[in-house]
Chain A
Amino acid sequence: MRTIRFLLQKEFRQIFRNRSILAMVIVMPIMQLLILPLAANYEVKNINIAVIDNDHSSYSQKLITKITSSGYFKLTGYCFSFKQAYRLIETDTADLILEIPHDFERNLIRENEQKLFVAVNAINGTKANLGSVYLLNIIQDFNAEIRLQFIQPVRFNPQPVIDITSSNWYNPMLDYHVFMVPGILAVLVTMVGGFLTALNIVKEKEVGTIEQINVTPIKKYHFILGKLIPFWILGNVVFTLGLLVAWLVYGIVPVGSLFLLYGFIAVYLLAVSGFGLLISTFCESQQQAMFVMFFFIMIFILMGGLFTSIDSMPEWAKTVTKFNLVSYLIEIMRMIILKGSSFKNIVPQLGVIAVFALVFNGWAIFNYKKTS
C-alpha cells in the first residue's frame, strides 16, 4: 500500500509538472466540445441548385420561389440549357439541377400531369442524397397545393392516401447537438484514458527510468496500478468537464442517473487505460505507441457509431464493433444521457466492458516483463 501511495505521489508530481498534459486534459475537452458539435452537423443547408426554366410561366416561378424560400437551397444558376447547367455542376457551383420542361403550366392544367427532371451531383453522397429528398418533398408539397386550387375538395378522397406523421422520441427536435455531444465526449474520454497511459509507460522505457525501476523489488501489479490510477482519475476529470460544457453550452442534462453514468465511466476507463497499458508493453518508443494507438483509435471512432450508424453496417463490420470499446460507451452515453436508461438496461454493455477491463489489464501485467 505504501509503495502504491508513493508511486502515485511521484506520478502526480510528474503530471502536474508537465504543462502539455494539463493543457490536454483541461483545454482539449472544452475546445473540442465547443467546436466539433457545431461542425459535425448532418443537417444539410446551402444546397446549391441550378434551375433550367424552359417554361417561364407563373407556375414555374412559383415552384422556384417555393424551393429557394425553404432555406435549404441556394439558387446559384438560372440557365437556359442543360449544357449550361451541367457546366455549373462541373465547376462545383451547383449540386443539383432542376429542369422545368416546356409547357409546364399548360400541361399541368390541361392534362393534370407533368414531369420534372432532377440531376444530382453525387460526389458528396450525404449532400446529394438529402438534397434530392428535400427537393422531392418540396415538389410534392407544391403538387398538393395546386391540386387544392383546381379540384374542389370532395368529402371523401377519391384516392385513399396514407398521411404519415412522425415524432422523434428522446430528441424531439432532432437536434444534432443532442446526440453528437455525448458521442464526442465518449471519444474524448477514450483519447485521454488510452493515449496518456500508453505514452507514459513507453516514455519510461525511452528515457531508461524503467531500467532503474526493474532492478527494484517493486511488484509488477504495483507498477501497473501506479500507472493506471492517475490516468483513471484524469479521465474522470475530463468527463466531468465535458458534462459541464454539455450542460452550460448545449443545455444537455443527463436524463438518467449521474451516479450510473459515472459508474459506467469508471469501469470503462479501466478498460481503455488497460488497453493503453497493453499497447505500451509491446512498444519500445513513444513514436511506435503513438502510431499503434492512432491505428486503433481511428477504427474505434469510425466504427463506433458516432458518424455512421452501426445498424447499417455489413455483418462482418458489426462483428468488429463488438470488440470496439468506444461503440459501447457511445451507446451507453446516449442511452443514459438522452433516454434515461436505468441500471437494468445497461447491464449487458457494462458486463462486456468489465470483461475487457479484466482482460486488457491482466494481459498488460502478464506482458510487462521486468527481465528481458
Chain B
Amino acid sequence: MGKILEINGPIVKLELPETVIGEQVRVGELNLVGEVIGREGNTALAQLYENTEGLRPGEAADGLGYPLSVELGPGLLNAIFDGVQRPLEAVWAQSGDRIARGVQVHSLPRDKAWHFVPNPSLKSGATLAGGQVLGTVQETESIQHRILTPPNTTGELAELAPEGDYRVDEVIGRVKDRRDGQVHKLQLFHRWPVRTPRPYRRRDHAVKPLLTGQRILDTFYPLLKGGKGAIPGPFGAGKTMLQQQIARWCNAEIVIYVGCGERGNELTDVLEFMPELIDPHTGRPLMERTLLVANTSNMPVVAREASVYVGITIAEYFRDQGYDVVMVADSTSRWAEALREVAGRLGQMPVEEGYPAYLGSRLAAFYERAGRVEALSGEFGSVSLIGAVSPPGGDFSEPVTSHTKEIIQTFWALSKELADARHYPAIDWLESFSGYVPQAARWWAENVDPRWAEFRAKSLELLAESEELQRIVNLVGVEALSSEQRWTLEAAGLIKEGLLQQAATDDIDSYASPEKQFALLEALLRIHDEGMKLVKMGASARRLLQVPLLAQARRWKSQYKSEQLEELKAKIAEIPDVFEKLAEEYEQAPQG
C-alpha cells in the first residue's frame, strides 16, 4: 500500500516501493486507474487514465500487480470500448451520459453465455501448445470466434469441457504445466498485456491485396493484407470519410476502428450507420465484424496513448485465430501528441516541435505489429494497419508525417486543393505511393486481367503528363496547346472524373469490384487511344471534345453496379464504333 505525494495534471508521484514500470495502479479515494511510468527509490511516477481533479496528497495508492492488459474472448465484436477497453455501452448503463471517474466494468460481459464447441481433435492427455485452438464459439452470424490457449500456457490437457453454454469466466478446461506441475485453468477468454506484441510462429510474405472497393486505392496505390499504410491529410480533406469507406467495404474479415483523439460525433456516425450496412462479402450487417475503440478528443489524454495499443492487441488476437484483420488508427498524430504531452510533464527534453526523441522509434515499433504471420495455431492471419495522420497546417514535413512516411509502404496523400475543388476522395495521385505494386500486380494478373500493371502505369503517365500541360495552360491558355496535347489533357480529365473521383454517398459508386475498376480503366484508356489515333491522323481535338461519349463515360461509374459488368463491357465494345464514325466524317469533310 502506498500513497500520493504529488499531483501534476495526469501525472502523479506516489510513494510505492516494489512496483515495476508498466504496472497498473489504483489511486486515491476515487479509485482512478493509471500505470507506472518511472521509478526512483521508493517513489514511482504514474500517469492516470482519468482526470485527477479533487485528488489529494496523502490519499492511498496501490499497485495491481499486472500491466495494462486487455480481455480477449467472445464479446469483443460489435462493441465499443474506451481507450483502456472499458465497454462504453455498459459504462453508459452504469454511470449515465457522462463518463464518471473510477468506473469499474468488465471489458467482456460476464452475464452472457456463449455456445462453446470443443476442438474434436483434443483429448485429455493431449499436449497443448500456446495459442492452440481449444474450440469455437459462433460469436456473430458471420464470425466464428476461435478460443485459443493463452500464448504462454503449455502443458498436458487435463480436462476440456463438453459442448455447451458457458460464460467467459467459467472454467472450460485445465492444463497441467509439465515443467512445474502446476495446473492452469482455461477460460473462454484470457488477458494479454497491450504493450507486448503477441507471439507467432513466423512472419510470412503478404501476398493478397486488401481490396477496398475504392478505385484510387485498389487500382493505383494498393495495400496488401498485412501491409502498413498511412493516410495523411489536412483537416477537411476527407480523411475520415476515406477511412470509413475502407472500414465499410474492405475484404478483411475483422475491422477494428480506433478513434484516437477524434470527434465524438464521428463515432456516433459509425455506430449509427454501420449496423444498417450490409457486408458485400458475407451479406451480413457490417457491425458483426467490426469493433470500435473510442477515445474522443475530450476524453483523458493518457488513455489516448493507450488506445492504439489496445486496438492492435485485439487485432493480433483475431490474427492468431487465422483472420485477416484491418485496423484503422485515427489519428496517429493525436497519439503522438498524447506522447508529447506526457513527455512534457515529465520534463523530458523535447526535440522537433516539442515531440520527445523516441517518437520515431515508438511509431516504428507500433507499425511493426502489422504483418501476415503463421500463428501459433498454425493458421495464417494478417493485420493490416492503416494510420491516419493529421499534419498541422497540412505540412507533410512535420515530424509525425515524415517519420510515418519512412515506416509505411503505402502512402495515400490527401490534398486540400483537391478537396476544395470537391474532388473526392482527395488523394493526390502524384504524392501518393505504394511499395506493394509488384505483389498486387501478380494478384490482378491472376484474378482479373494480365494487363493491369500496364494499364495502371499508362494512366499514371497520362496523369503526370497532364499536370505538366496544365501548368502551361495556366500560363498561356489552352489555345497554346497542340491537338495531341489537348487530347491528352482531356483524357486525363476523363480519368480523374470518370475513375479517380468516387462518391462515397452514391449507392452505386460507393463500392467498385476489382472487375468493374478494371473495366472502367480499360474503357477510359480505350477512349484515349482511339481518340489519339484520330488526332494523329490530323483530326482536331476541338471536334473530338464535342463527342457525347466523353460526358457519358464520366457517368458510367455511377450507372453500372459492380454486378452489371456485362453492360459496362458492352459500352466498351461500342467505343471503337464511335470513333470510326468520326473518322469517316473526317475523311468525307474537305481537307484543310
Real binding pair: no
Residues of B whose CB lies within 8 Å of any CB of A are none
Residues of A whose CB lies within 8 Å of any CB of B are none
